[in-house]
Structure formats: C-alpha cells, structure tokens
Amino acid sequence: MNLSKALHSFLAGTLCLWSIAANAELSIQITQGVDNPIPIAVVPFSWQGTGVLSEDVSQIVMNDLEQVGEFLALSRSNMLSLPSDESQVYYRDWRILAQDYLLVGKIDRTPGSQLVQVQYEFFDINREMKLAGEVLTGSVTQLRDIAHEISNVVFEQVTGTRGAFTTEIMYVVAEYVNPELTYFRLEKSDYDGQRAQVLLESVEPIMSPSWSPTGRDVAYVSFETDLPRIYIQNIATGDRRQITNYPNLNSSPEWSPDGTKLAMVLSKDGSPDIYVQDLTTNQLIQVTDHPLIDTEPSWTADSRSIVFMSERTGQPQIYQIELGASSFDVERLTYDCFQCLNAQFLPDGVNLVHVRRETRQDPNYQIAVLNIETLRIITLTSTSLDESPSVAPNGSMVMYGTKFNGRGVLDAVSIDGTVKFRLPSTQGDVREPAWSPFLN
C-alpha cells in the first residue's frame, strides 16, 4: 500500500489554484456486460473495532469487479455463511452456490495507533485452494485505496492481467452558465469517478490533459491569456509553469513514455505541425512539416516514433514518423475510412485505438481498434459523437468522451467491445478523459 498516495491526493485537493466547493460527481453505471461473467462471492469484511467505518471495503471490491464487466458478484443475502478468515471457509457452501471464487476478510484497529489493518484471503472454490492473502495497513481515510488494492489482486489472479483499480483519471468539465460565461475545470478522480478534485478552474477553455509517465505532473492547454498555451502542473503541489508561448496555435501536449520530452502541435509557421520539446534542454524539434493540418500526436512505447493525424491526402488519416527522420518519411497507417483521427497504440504496439468516421455521408464519429498487422478493425462504440479515447494502463479498457441526452459524459469500453460502463456527471459537460499510468 502506497501511503503517500492519499497524502498526494489530499494536497492536490487543498492546493488547487482556485479552490471551489462544487465539482462534478461521477458515478459508474454499467451499460453492457459480458455474456458469461465469472461468479465470485465477496463476503462482507468483519469489523472488530468500535463505531462505523466510513467505507464498505467489500462493497467497493464488488463494484470494482462488476464495473469491468467480467465478474458477477453473489448477492450478500444469498450467502449461506459469512466467513472472515480461512478457518471459517467451507468450500461446499460456495460450490452449492456455483461460485468460482471467494474473497473474505476482516478489519481490525492496529493496537496503539489510529491505523486499521485489513486482512483479506482469496480462494479458488473449484480447486479448493487459497490463491492470495495479506494484511494491508493504513488510515481509515485510506480504506478505499486498500479496497482497490485488493481488487487489483483478485483481478490479476483470475485474468492474469494487472488490475487498474488504483489508477486515476483526469478530465475537463465545462459548466455552461450563459452565452458569455462558461466555467472550465480540470479535475482528477479515481478511475471510477469517486473522490473528484479540482486541479484548475478558468473562465477560458482548458483542453488536452496529458499525464506524465510518473503520474506526478499534468500537461494541458489553457486559454487563460486569451490564447491557447501549454502548461505543466505538479498534481500534488499545484505548482505550474507555462512552457510554450509560440505564435498561433499551441496544443495537444503528449508526454513521451520515457518522460524526457513533450510532443505538441504548433502553427507558428502557418499551419499546424508536430513538434517535440526536450523537457531538460527546452530544445524544440520540428517533426512534421506540411501545409495542411498535422495534429493529435501520440507516442510509441519506445519513445522513438510519433503517431499523428494528417490531412495531407485530403482527409484526416493516421500516420507514423520516427523522430529524426525526414518530415517526408512518414508511414500511413489507415486507409479505409473517410476520416481516421486521434490514434494511439495499445501497450501491445499492434492495435491502434482511434476515432473513425466511415463515410462522408455519415458524420458519425466512433471509437475503433485497428490491428496494423492483420488490418482487422473492431468498432467499439455505437454512439455518434465519440472522441478523445484514452487507454487504461493495463490495456483492458478505453475511456472516451461522448454525448448522452445532450450532455458530455465519459464512457468506457473493454478493448474487445463487450463491456461498457458510463460515468455520468451531475454537473456540466465532462470530456477529454486521460487515464493515468499505474501509480504504484
């Protein structure tokens, strides 16, 4: 358990530049799940201390597992027994209920301190064996973090994929007041929309948040000077600096995976081109040079190439260029769409998530995945204004912005398109999700 994380979160919340009370509360709705979810029993964790705990740890774990769609949690009222450790577990009780997995646990006050310790144990019912178990210690306010840690373990034990339940998201909220006044906020929350905090508020647009690979900083575009300029802000302290002031458009900051560079779009020479700024030396390198629009850079995992959108053949298509190559030496990645935009590779380096408009006649924009080896395309979404896809660090899900009932919402879809969930906002239009890297 990374105890400093909650402290970071706390500081980020209190030191944001414009502190405001209200922010958009996001809460998950599952809109589509898999056909044969894995049955799992998550027994309510027993609490040995006095008073009522502020968080229901086992309920948070159940929510985590159900939200990603692959699990179906057994209702508590159907449980035949409520074990809290291995000595109380009878596999037969759970086999009768057709459960594949069982999670039990107990929470104790740590003697002589304000901390609590959470002991959990995770069992495979069919093989009648314990798969995992440990004791996690933290303050009462960290129970939610501890619950997400446990979800990570369960998810990895069952699927073999690292869980992303302790990750966070950043997004932009626009709250329209009247034609002259809209509040723009950069916010951060848990991956499931809980514990939202405001990092920046402005009456001018905020765009394009991009996490640094350490998760400590964010780069974004703010129009606070009346012009779009790129800023970097420390998430914990709120310290920030403006890093570009070139003529015309400064946009689309994207941190390189090795953390040393920032890709960006500048139109200082007339039309938008891709540039890379070295964050140590501040040296600026021009990567593309074309009189038509080049924008939306993203990095390959080795930090050596950039994927971007260009209009050079008439309509937006996706290209790739190696840093240091001639600006003409680009490889085209997409062909059979009227417009393909805003692309990034999954961690596998083969599948390319992008925004897709199939035909000129049908102006619907959807999230799709192109396998650049097999050229197979899977369209993941079925709404019409989908944009800003951001991939979970374990590559399992894509979060994106779309419109629902006329309002901006964040949706997420599994990478095979089978599972969807939505984080509706109670306030304003939510857009431009940026999924954090692994934070611990």
How far apart, in whole angstroms, are the C-alpha atoms of residue 204 and residue 351?
A: 36
Indicate whether 403 belongs to the interface with other proteins (CB under 8 A): yes
Indicate whether 309 belongs to the interface with other proteins (CB under 8 A): yes
Residues 230 and 246 sit within 8 Å (Cβ to Cβ): no
Question: In sequence order, which residues have a C-beta less than 8 Å from that of residue 400 and are 6 or more positions away?
Answer: 367, 381, 386, 387, 388, 389, 390, 410, 411, 412, 413, 433
Candidates 8-16, 35-43, 106-114, 264-272; binding stretch for other proteins (CB under 8 A): 264-272
Indicate whether 433 belongs to the interface with other proteins (CB under 8 A): no
Residue 111 or 406 having the CB closest to other proteins: 406
Indicate whether 106 belongs to the interface with other proteins (CB under 8 A): no
Candidates 2-10, 18-26, 45-53, 290-298; binding stretch for other proteins (CB under 8 A): 290-298
Residues 202 and 184 sit within 8 Å (Cβ to Cβ): yes
Residue 241 or 360 having the CB closest to other proteins: 360
Kindly tell me which residue out of 197, 208, 210, 344 binds other proteins, with binding defined by CB under 8 A: 208
Q: According to CB under 8 A, which residues from 139 to 178 bind other proteins?
A: 174, 176
* Residue whose entry in the numeric block shows the structure tokens 């570009």: 244
H/E segment holding residue 145: helix 143-159
* Count of CA atoms in the C-beta half-sphere (13 A) of 111: 0
User: Residue 248's closest CA among 224, 275, 280, 271?
Assistant: 271
Minimum distance of other proteins from residue 249's CB (angstroms):
5
Write the interaction track for other proteins spanning residues 325-354; mark x where CB under 8 A is met and - where it is not.
Answer: --------------x-xx------------
Indicate whether 385 belongs to the interface with other proteins (CB under 8 A): yes
Kindly tell me which residue out of 69, 138, 316, 433 binds other proteins, with binding defined by CB under 8 A: 316
Indicate whether 262 belongs to the interface with other proteins (CB under 8 A): no
DSSP 244-279: ---SS-EEEEEE-TTSSEEEEEE-TTSS-EEEEEET
H/E segment holding residue 141: none
How far apart, in whole angstroms, are the C-alpha atoms of residue 124 and residue 157?
A: 10
Residue 296 DSSP SS3: strand
* Count of CA atoms in the C-beta half-sphere (13 A) of 94: 28
Indicate whether 365 belongs to the interface with other proteins (CB under 8 A): yes
Note the Cα 105 to chain centre separation in Å: 28
Residues binding other proteins: number (CB under 8 A): 38
How far apart, in whole angstroms, are the C-alpha atoms of residue 419 and residue 70?
A: 8
Indicate whether 295 belongs to the interface with other proteins (CB under 8 A): yes
Q: According to CB under 8 A, which residues from 37 to 56 bind other proteins?
A: none
Residue 28 or 412 having the CB closest to other proteins: 412
How far apart, in whole angstroms, are the C-alpha atoms of residue 64 and residue 79?
A: 20
Residues 206 and 221 sit within 8 Å (Cβ to Cβ): yes
Residue 228 or 424 having the CB closest to other proteins: 228
Residue 163 or 272 having the CB closest to other proteins: 272
Indicate whether 89 belongs to the interface with other proteins (CB under 8 A): no
Residues 140 and 118 sit within 8 Å (Cβ to Cβ): no
Write the interaction track for other proteins spanning residues 210-249; mark x where CB under 8 A is met and - where it is not.
Answer: -------------x--xxx-------------------xx
Indicate whether 363 belongs to the interface with other proteins (CB under 8 A): yes
Indicate whether 118 belongs to the interface with other proteins (CB under 8 A): no
How far apart, in whole angstroms, are the C-alpha atoms of residue 219 and residue 210?
A: 5
Indicate whether 312 belongs to the interface with other proteins (CB under 8 A): no
Indicate whether 272 belongs to the interface with other proteins (CB under 8 A): yes
Footprint on this chain of other proteins (rule: CB under 8 A): 174, 176, 179, 182, 205, 207-208, 223, 226-228, 248-249, 251-252, 265, 267, 271-272, 293, 295-296, 309, 316, 339, 341-342, 355, 357, 363, 365, 385, 387-388, 403, 406, 431-432
